[in-house]
């Protein structure tokens, strides 16, 4: 850390700060200017709290100079991480689209959605079986039966599966059915859960909390990485601001910022990020234009009767058009979106 002493700080005050820093295990470099002294402290303990130094007499400001995250830092793997799920690669040249219903509601619903999103070019089927809902009176998901239906529908279309895990006790169950384990925004700092997922051998999709700084988000990724699981995919899904026309404000600028700070792939969720169907396509296009490695989008064949989040789910035809628009945009940044002819297996809508 760098300690900036106040103008007029006494020698005794400087000595006290130096003493405390040394006691914390730091090497201290002193730089004496005309008006003030600056102390550079390197090598100290992880646990040293800059705030403690800040309270000492004569100290004007303390600045931390190492990111608190290490394994998540771009400098740890400058070339970038590609997360591989079978033949799907997230973080490579292709922009990968995950799509499907907010919640799994029935066999017919999830199969229809899977067929629709596959047709349009999605690679991964999304669907919630356990839903974290603000109100205890809202639909809470089908549980394991939902996972079973989701897996079946995905397999039928040769899609991978991503679904949300809400609690340590659900990890084993989710891991049986899902290829990617989603950690929701509300659980971004559920450290018990993150630690558990660090021991898993499955990719984790880590959503950003609605008021999390990017540093906190990367620190949460660090919990997973530090546990031994190298495959974290970050997902921007909107932050809370004073603006009420949209449910959240999808922070598109987080995409280039994360790309610079971290080697981890980052995708965007324009469905939760806006909460309104008519805003999903513009924000999805914006995310890809800004450099996102992928998208996760809610698609429902009958959103007006969806049990949750129907208002932000696209109709299949809207999703088709969006995918076509994305295919035009991706080359502007040297990316592509899958266009191979799709062989439909089994049940079609």
Binding residues among 167-186 for its own copies as defined by CB under 8 A: 167-169, 186
Q: Is 19 helix (H, G, I), strand (E, B) or coil?
A: helix
Q: Is 185 helix (H, G, I), strand (E, B) or coil?
A: helix
188 backbone dihedrals φ, ψ, rounded to 5°? -60, -30
Tell me the CA distances in angstroms from 194 to 209, 224, 226, one per residue in order.
Answer: 14, 6, 10
258 backbone dihedrals φ, ψ, rounded to 5°? -65, -40
Shortest distance in whole angstroms from residue 99 CB to its own copies: 19
What CA–CA distance (Å, rounded) separates 242 from 244? 6
Is 345 a binding residue for its own copies by CB under 8 A? The answer is no
Shortest distance in whole angstroms from residue 23 CB to its own copies: 9
Residue from 98, 156, 171, 223 touching its own copies (CB under 8 A): that is 223
In contact, 197 and 204? CB cutoff 8 Å: yes
**For helices 144-156 and 107-120, what crossing angle results, to 10°?**
40
Shortest distance in whole angstroms from residue 78 CB to its own copies: 10
Span interacting with its own copies, options 22-30, 87-95, 120-128, 294-302, rule CB under 8 A: 22-30
Nearer to its own copies, 198 or 203 (CB): 198
What CA–CA distance (Å, rounded) separates 336 from 194? 32
Q: Which run of H or of E encompasses 316?
A: helix 316-329
Shortest distance in whole angstroms from residue 84 CB to its own copies: 25
Site for its own copies in 268-327 (CB under 8 A): 273-279, 282-283, 285-291, 303-304, 306-312, 325-326
Nearer to its own copies, 159 or 303 (CB): 303
Site for its own copies in 124-153 (CB under 8 A): 132-139
Shortest distance in whole angstroms from residue 348 CB to its own copies: 27
Residue from 13, 18, 60, 320 touching its own copies (CB under 8 A): that is 60
């Amino acid at each position: 850390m760098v300690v900036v002493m106040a103008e007029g700080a006494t020698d005794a005050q400087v000595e006290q700060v130096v003493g405390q820093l040394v006691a914390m295990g730091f090497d201290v470099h002193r730089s004496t200017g005309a008006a003030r002294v600056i102390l550079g402290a390197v090598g100290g303990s992880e646990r040293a709290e800059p705030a403690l130094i800040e309270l000492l007499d004569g100290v004007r400001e303390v600045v931390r100079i190492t990111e608190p995250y290490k394994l998540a830092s771009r400098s740890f793997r400058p070339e970038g991480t590609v997360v591989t799920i079978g033949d799907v690669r997230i973080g490579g040249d292709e922009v990968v689209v995950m799509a499907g219903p907010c919640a799994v509601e029935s066999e017919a619903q999830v199969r229809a959605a899977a067929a629709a999103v596959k047709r349009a070019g999605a690679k991964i089927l999304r669907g919630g079986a356990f839903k974290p809902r603000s109100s205890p009176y809202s639909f809470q998901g089908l549980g394991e039966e939902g996972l079973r239906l989701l897996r079946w529908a995905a397999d039928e279309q040769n899609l991978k599966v991503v679904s949300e895990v809400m609690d340590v006790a659900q990890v084993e169950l989710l891991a049986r059915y899902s290829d990617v384990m989603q950690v929701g925004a509300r659980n971004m700092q559920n450290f018990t859960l993150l630690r558990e997922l660090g021991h898993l051998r499955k990719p984790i999709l880590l959503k950003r909390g609605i008021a999390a700084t990017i540093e906190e988000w990367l620190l949460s990724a660090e919990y997973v990485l530090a546990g031994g699981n190298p495959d974290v995919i970050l997902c921007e899904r909107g932050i809370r601001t004073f603006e009420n026309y949209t449910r959240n404000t999808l922070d598109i600028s987080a995409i280039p910022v994360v790309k610079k700070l971290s080697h981890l792939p980052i995708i965007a969720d324009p469905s939760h990020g806006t909460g309104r169907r008519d805003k999903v396509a513009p924000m999805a296009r914006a995310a890809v234009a800004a450099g996102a490695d992928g998208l996760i989008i809610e698609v429902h064949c009958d959103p007006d009767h969806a049990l949750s989040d129907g208002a932000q789910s696209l109709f299949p035809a809207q999703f088709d058009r969006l995918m076509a628009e994305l295919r035009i945009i991706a080359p502007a940044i040297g990316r592509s979106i899958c266009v191979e002819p799709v062989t439909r297996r089994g049940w079609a809508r």
